[in-house]
Each structure stands twice: as C-alpha cells, then as structure tokens.
Structure 1
Amino acid sequence: MAERNFRQLLEAQWEQGKFLCVGLDSDFEKIPEAARQAGGGIGDTMLAFNRIIIDTTKDLVCAYKPNPAFYEAHGDEGWKALRATIQYINEAAPEIPVILDAKRGDIGNSNIGYTASAFDHLHADAITVHPYFGSDALASFFARKEKGVIVLCRSSNAGSGELQDLKVDGVPLYQIVARMAAGPWNAQGNCSVMVGATFPEELAEVRKIVGDMPILIPGIGVQNGDLEKTVQAGKDSRGRGMI
C-alpha cells in the first residue's frame, strides 16, 4: 500500500469544508434485520453494514473512526470484519483517513505491538492513545511521522473529571496533557488531542493551548454534545482543525 500521511489527508478534506467524522462502532446486536446478510455470519453482516454507511457518507466526511472493541467482541470474525472495513475505505474512498479508536496505553514493548497492529496490519492512518504512561511509552506511535497520534485529553464521558480535572500546581490535568501534546510530544508534527463535545468550555481552553493542532471531538449525537458550541469552541485560527 502506498504511504499515506494523516495530516495531509485531513487538510485536503478541511479544504473542502468537511469536518464530520463517522464512527464505525457497529454493534452486531443493533444492526437492523433488513441490513443483515442473508445467511451470512457475524463478520459478513458487520462488513456489509459498514459498507452501506461508507457508500452513503463518503462524500460528506473528513474521517472514519472504527472502535476495535465492537469487532474484538466477536473474535476472528469481528477482527476480519474490522480489517476488511478499513480496506474497503481505502479502496472506495482512498482520500479519507481512518482513525483507529483503540485508546491504546501500555509500556513501551507492548505499544510496539499495538503500533504494528494498527498501522502495518490494519493500515489505519491514526490511532487514539492514553497519555497516562508518559511519552517514552508512546514513542513507537510518535515515531511514525506519517501517522496521526491522538492523545486522550478531556474525554466525553460524565465521570472523566474524576482524574482529568485534578489540579497540579493549580492547573487541571487535562490542560497539562494538552501542553505536553502540543509541545515536547509533537516533535514529529503528528500529534493531536481528543476533547469531548460534551465539555465545550474545556474544549475552548484546549484550543487556546494547542493552537492549530487537530482536535478529535467525539460526543455529538448520542452523548448530546452541542454542535454549535462545539464548532465555536473547537475551530482553529483558520476555522478548521476539527474532526
């Protein structure tokens, strides 16, 4: 497969005014009966459902974001469906980047394996990661200059503040993470952050810290994030920068 650059793919979509990221979190139990493959297994059904979504939205989105948990739950069939879904995106919409929403976080050697899985096996263009282990643990991700490394900063779940709002020398922890991601962790220019749409005030604070860095902003839809407030808080100096 030809080398792809996550940031360049994103910028091309932003240039067209596309900021929507579609999550491919296909829960097999919730797939409508009408969309199920006649006589097909779980993996075939998930792939067929994803293909419908991709074919319907590929002219509207800036990225796709599958969460491996929904696929791993079904063993080999699910894993094959995830790989085939990313392959289909690369074939049907090669200009659209794929973010693997895996939220990986471990010590260095384990992350080397996660890096290879995401980028060499699944061929994702970016991955979400946990900052808790520090930069040395994330080195294998950061080393892939053409790939995107999206650091969890202020997550969209209701209980995220238990840790992320804790203050260190008077500064909330999520802001310290944003500073690290925009500073020393971004030596390769491939770092981004994730901030939930459910916290627009915090999103605005993070935008001030990270400048024009891309921000992945989940939480619109089921989690009731406010779209208008999200855009106002999340856009960069060019009116872009949002996924």
Structure 2
Amino acid sequence: MNRQELVKEIFDKKSFLCVGLDTDLKKVPTHLLNEEDPIFAFNKAIIDATADYCVAYKPNLAFYEAFGVKGIMAFEKTIDYLNKHYPHHFVIADAKRGDIGNTSAMYARTFFEEYNLDALTVAPYMGEDSVKPFLGYEDKWVILLALTSNKGSLDFQMTEDKDGERLFEKVLKKSQEWGDDTNMMYVVGATQGEMFKDIRKCAPTHFLLVPGVGAQGGSLQDVCKYGMTADCGLLVNSSRGIIYASQGEDFAEVAAQKAHELQQEMAAELERIER
C-alpha cells in the first residue's frame, strides 16, 4: 500500500486506528481453546468484528513464535485471511528485525515477499546497512523504532551527545538519508505526550506508528495535538484495550464496541484538519 492509498483509507473511514493482534492463549476466552487453532479463531473473530473501524492490523510476532510451529501457522493463516478478505487494510508485522545486511535482506524477503505484508518494524541501531535491504520494495514500509513508551527507553534513547542532541533525534535525522516519507515511518510511544513536538521538528511529514493508547495510558488527544499532520500522519495502535476487553463469549462484540469508540474519537480529531 502506498502513502496516497493509506491516506485515502484514513479519511474515507474517518479512522487511523491500528488493532494490535497480540494474541496470548492465557488471555483468550476459554471456549476458544476447544478450537483446532484457537489463535487463528480468536484473530479471525477480532478482525471480522473490528474491520469497519480500523485501517490497520499489527500482529506481534513474539506472541506467535512463543508457540513454535503452531504459532507460526496461526500467524500465516491470519495474514492469508487479511490479504484475502481485507486487502485494503494496512498490515504491519511487529517483528523488530534488524541485523547485518545479508541477514536483513532475508528478513525483508520473508515479510515482504513470502507474507506480502505492508510494513515491518525494524530496530535501527546497527545503522544504514541493516535498514537499507528493507527499503528496496515498492509500496512497502519500514517502521523504525524512534522513541518508545517503555520505561527503559530512558536508558539510551534520551541520552545526549556533547551538542545536546538526543539519540532518538539522531536516529530520526540520519535515517532520512536512507528513505523518505513514502517508505519509512517511526514508532513513537503515545505516553511521550509533548515530546511529539520534538519528533515533528525532525520528521515533520513522516507517518508515526503510535502504540500505548488505552491500556498503557497514552492520551489520543495529546498524540493528535502534537503529532497530527495535514494528512493525519498517524497510525495509533491499541491492542489489549480492544482485543481483551472481554473474556466472555461476547469478546468480539465488545472488541467492536471499543474499536468503534476509538474510531469516533479519531473522526472528531480528523475533522479539525483543513485539507
């Protein structure tokens, strides 16, 4: 999916919601454990219930790899289902890959050729040759970790050099020598609040993938106030707050309700944009 198509989907659906498919068998409704593939059964129900309210899905690979071959098969079935039934949704593999060039090239082949995903999260800290292999695919996106919402982000990302430039700012500036706002996004945690102003100084037009709204306490209004651009420029992810809103047999209906509530808030924010 290219940038123009993504922006059109956002304004057509009045949503920039990304639903995170962090599927944990310890948290899914117990009645699904009798299914042949409970992970896929859960994902399918969540997708069908929330598709009208979101523009993107983000399966987190760790939640599938934890179950070995069965988990990877569930991931593959989920991706196949999305590609077949919801081809206009933007699908992100949250895998946080990044290695020396030839290894990154194989990761890129896996996610962009084998699975035909739209985007992949990538750790940038091995530098240009570890990121460039992901950028050679037309209408595919690299989403670089920039300023995350976890407590440990302070350990490295906020450290300053002798000129006062913080590491996340250096990542934002340097990486724009490798790609542009048509093939590169950045991960910025929703809990960063006013820090979005600093992000936008370095990357004024790039899309931002923003986790942390909902269960992690990030404010959608703050994200929009400081991070929204003329063509939205945001994909805001919610995982636990939607997919685990109920552990009963009504889990899909409640997930749809939570997604709809967020979509309505997003629609109000999008109305503020002058296009």
| Fold in common (TM above 0.5) | yes
Question: Which amino acid is 2:122 matched to?
Answer: V
Distance 1:14 1:208, change over 3 A: farther
CA contact 2:181–2:207 (8 Å) conserved in 1: no
Distance 1:8 1:28, change over 3 A: farther
Q: Report the Cα distance in structure 1 between the residues aligned to 2:155 and 2:194, rounded to whole angstroms.
A: 17
Q: Report the Cα distance in structure 1 between the residues aligned to 2:57 and 2:120, rounded to whole angstroms.
A: 11
Q: Report the Cα distance in structure 2 between the residues aligned to 1:233 and 1:12, rounded to whole angstroms.
A: 22
Query: In the alignment, which of 130, 138, 144 is matched to residue 137 of structure 2?
Result: 144
Q: Report the Cα distance in structure 2 between the residues aligned to 1:14 and 1:179, rounded to whole angstroms.
A: 27
Question: Which amino acid is 1:173 matched to?
Answer: L
SS of 1:138 mapped into structure 2 = helix
CA contact 2:7–2:231 (8 Å) conserved in 1: no
Q: What is aligned with 2:227? A: 234
Q: Deviations over 1:206-240 (max 9, x none)?
A: 1222112110000112211112111111101x150
Query: In the alignment, which of 138, 141, 147 is matched to residue 154 of structure 1?
Result: 147
Distance 1:216 1:39, change over 3 A: closer
SS of 1:77 mapped into structure 2 = helix
Query: In the alignment, which of 102, 119, 130 is matched to residue 112 of structure 2?
Result: 119
Question: Which amino acid is 1:233 matched to?
Answer: Y
SS of 1:86 mapped into structure 2 = helix
Written as runs of structure 1 = structure 2, the 5 A alignment for 1:61-100 is: 61-100=54-93
Say if 2:217 is the partner of 1:217: no
Say if 2:164 is the partner of 1:170: yes
Q: 1:122 Cα deviation (Å)?
A: 1.9
Which structure is richer in relative contact order (CA contacts within 8 A, separation 6 or more)? 2
TM-score when normalising by structure 2:
0.81
CA contact 2:196–2:226 (8 Å) conserved in 1: yes
Q: Report the Cα distance in structure 2 between the residues aligned to 1:120 and 1:219, rounded to whole angstroms.
A: 29
Q: Report the Cα distance in structure 1 between the residues aligned to 2:177 and 2:152, rounded to whole angstroms.
A: 28
CA contact 1:214–1:242 (8 Å) conserved in 2: yes
Q: 1:163 Cα deviation (Å)?
A: 0.2
Say if 2:3 is the partner of 1:10: no
SS of 1:59 mapped into structure 2 = helix
SS of 1:98 mapped into structure 2 = strand
Q: Deviations over 1:85-136 (max 9, x none)?
A: 0111112211001010101111111111111111112221100101101111
Question: Which amino acid is 1:240 matched to?
Answer: C
SS of 1:166 mapped into structure 2 = coil
Query: In the alignment, which of 175, 181, 186 is matched to residue 179 of structure 2?
Result: 186
CA contact 1:142–1:188 (8 Å) conserved in 2: no
Q: Report the Cα distance in structure 2 between the residues aligned to 1:69 and 1:227, rounded to whole angstroms.
A: 26
Q: 1:188 Cα deviation (Å)?
A: 8.2
Say if 2:22 is the partner of 1:25: yes
Between the aligned residues of both structures, percent identity stands at 40
Q: What is aligned with 2:261? A: none
Q: Deviations over 1:170-190 (max 9, x none)?
A: 111111111123x31225831
Query: In the alignment, which of 43, 47, 58 is matched to residue 50 of structure 1?
Result: 43
Q: Deviations over 1:26-69 (max 9, x none)?
A: 011111113x05352xxx10001001110011111121000110
Q: What is aligned with 2:262? A: none
Q: Report the Cα distance in structure 1 between the residues aligned to 2:86 and 2:206, rounded to whole angstroms.
A: 24
Q: Report the Cα distance in structure 2 between the residues aligned to 1:57 and 1:115, rounded to whole angstroms.
A: 28
- Stretches of structure 2 lacking an aligned partner (at least 5 in a row): 236-275
SS of 1:15 mapped into structure 2 = helix
SS of 1:186 mapped into structure 2 = coil
Backbone CA RMSD of aligned residues: 1.5
Q: Report the Cα distance in structure 2 between the residues aligned to 1:9 and 1:72, rounded to whole angstroms.
A: 31
